[in-house]
Structure 1
Amino acid sequence: MPTPRKHPVEQPVFRSLMLTSLFLGVVLLILNEPPSNGFVGVAALMLLAVFVVSFGLYWLAWLPREHELWREGRQGQGE
């Protein structure tokens, strides 16, 4: 029997994208210490925007999954 596909919340690629974009965004903000509107500043803001969007998607995927697991647990108790 084939293994079922993992939920997006359980896939390590999604979490690593989120954490990598946060780390690189913070590093680039530190490197861009005297604020300028150059490439480094734009890249830092883009990476931080990727983090915010991916974190929001992660949360939106996690919440219904946890709710469904909770509902399955209650059905096993016989309500």
Structure 2
Amino acid sequence: MPSPRKHPVEQPVFRSLMLTALFLGVVLLILNEPPSNGVVNAAALVLLAVFVVSFGLYWLAWVLREHELWRAGRQGQGE
């Protein structure tokens, strides 16, 4: 029997995307100090925005997963 699909919170690819975007965004901001190139600034801001959005989605997925586990536990107790 094939193993069940992993929840997005449990998949390392999602965390890797989030942390890579954060790292590259910060590196681009540090390398472009003082701000001289608008393209590098824009790329850094886009990467940081990707981090913020992916972090929000990761947090929401984690909360929903924990809630579902809680509900499944309560059903097992026979409310």
Q: TM-score by structure 1 length?
A: 0.90
CA distance in 2, matches of 1:36, 1:52: 24
Identity %: 89
Match of residue 38 from structure 1:
38
1:37 CA displacement = 4.5
The superposition leaves residues 46-71 of structure 1 with CA deviations (integer Å, 9 ceiling, x where unpaired) of 10010011111111211111001011
**Number of equivalent positions:** 79
1:32 CA displacement = 1.1
Unmatched 5+ residue regions in structure 2? none
Task: Give the root-mean-square deviation of aligned CA atoms.
Answer: 1.2
Match of residue 29 from structure 1:
29
Q: What letter is aligned with 2:65?
A: R
